[in-house]
Structure 1
Amino acid sequence: MPIIKPVNGKSPRIPEDCFIAENATIVGDVVMGSQCSIWFNAVVRGDVHFIKMGEKVNVQDGAVIHATYQKSPTRIGNNVSIGHNAIVHGCTIHDNVLVGMGSIIMDDCVVESNSIIAAGAVVTQNTRVEAGSIYAGVPAKKIKDIDEDLISGEIHRIANNYIRYSSWFK
């Protein structure tokens, strides 16, 4: 059974159509939209501030979603894939975003819609990732504009695949 527990009187709110892996952890002030999935060893920790996720968000194996105490909540839009072992901390991610494996998005960053954070990238505090772009590196910088093929071929494909994958476990 996953660890799903209240903290300071606030309990996670998880729609019934979401998939939560047996060893995932979700605690505190976490609100998820429909068709989300939280995968093996992922942690969504809404103990120090709120975490709000839209619809069709997948938090892949080993990823950590957290916030900063009384300062920076975490907001995640619709159709967002958070790759294996990524860290998303006290930031805002808009719709249609792919957060690559092992990447880190730090406090008070804003990742605008239709963007990709490359695997292993470190998006440092207060960075604004402009809509329709790919950011990579340490620290992450814009490397190019994204085209419609990447939006449909990667961002939408991966989010939709995770809805399919989660159906295998329900």
Structure 2
Amino acid sequence: MALIKSVRGFTPEIGENCYLADNATIIGDVVIGKDCSIWFNAVLRGDVNSIRIGDRVNIQDGSVLHTLYQKSVVEIGNDVSVGHNVTIHGATIKDGALIGMGSTVLDHAVVGEGAIVAAGALVLSNTIIEPGSLWAGVPAKFIKKIPEAQSKELNQKIANGYLMYASWFKEEGEEQK
């Protein structure tokens, strides 16, 4: 069963039809929309500030979401995929974005709608990633614009895949809200 823990008077709120892996950890001021999946070893630590997650978001294995006390929050829109072992610290991720495996997005960065952060990228604090663009590298830099249809198709395919994967675990009786 996932660890859902209250802290400082805040109790996580989990939307309908969400899958929470057995060892996912969700702490404090965290609000998760509907049809989301929080995978194995993911940690959403809303102990020092808020984390807000939209609908149909998947936070994949080993990812960590955290903030700065009284200085930054995490805001994730709808239909976002956060790859394995990603760190999002006090950043905003807009609708339909894809955050690649092993990447890091730091405080006050904004990842625009339908944008892609490549695997292993380091998005520095205060970086603004334009909608529909691909960024990669350490530190992350603009690579190219992605045609809107291509970005939407790729990101939606991954998001829909994770809805399907979550359903497999629900059928086995794993934790769901």
TM normalised by structure 1 equals 0.98
Q: Matches of 2:153 and 2:102 in 1, distance apart?
A: 21
Q: Is the 8 A contact 2:16 2:33 kept in 1?
A: no
The one of the two structures with greater contact order (alpha-carbon pairs below 8 A, sep at least 6) is 2
Amino acid at match of 1:168: W
SS in 1 for 2:9: coil
Q: Matches of 1:150 and 1:161 in 2, distance apart?
A: 17
Pairwise CA RMSD of aligned residues? 0.8
Moved over 6 A (4+): none
Q: 1:67 Cα deviation (Å)?
A: 0.8
Q: Matches of 1:152 and 1:139 in 2, distance apart?
A: 25
Amino acid at match of 2:10: K
SS in 1 for 2:95: coil
Aligned to 1:20: 20
Matched, 1:71 2:71: yes
Q: Matches of 1:68 and 1:134 in 2, distance apart?
A: 26
CA deviation profile, 1:44-79 (whole Å, cap 9, x unmatched): 000000000000110000000111111001000000
Structure 2 unpaired stretches of 5+: 171-177
SS in 2 for 1:44: strand
Aligned residues, how many?
A: 170
Aligned to 2:55: 55
Q: 1:149 Cα deviation (Å)?
A: 4.5
Q: Matches of 2:150 and 2:10 in 1, distance apart?
A: 38
For 1:1-40, list aligned pairs within 5 A: 1-40=1-40
Identity %: 56
Matched, 1:90 2:90: yes
SS in 2 for 1:113: coil
TM normalised by structure 2 equals 0.94
Aligned to 1:159: 159
Q: 1:153 Cα deviation (Å)?
A: 3.2
SS in 2 for 1:85: coil
CA deviation profile, 1:8-34 (whole Å, cap 9, x unmatched): 110000023100000000000000110
Q: Matches of 2:142 and 2:158 in 1, distance apart?
A: 22
Q: 1:148 Cα deviation (Å)?
A: 3.3
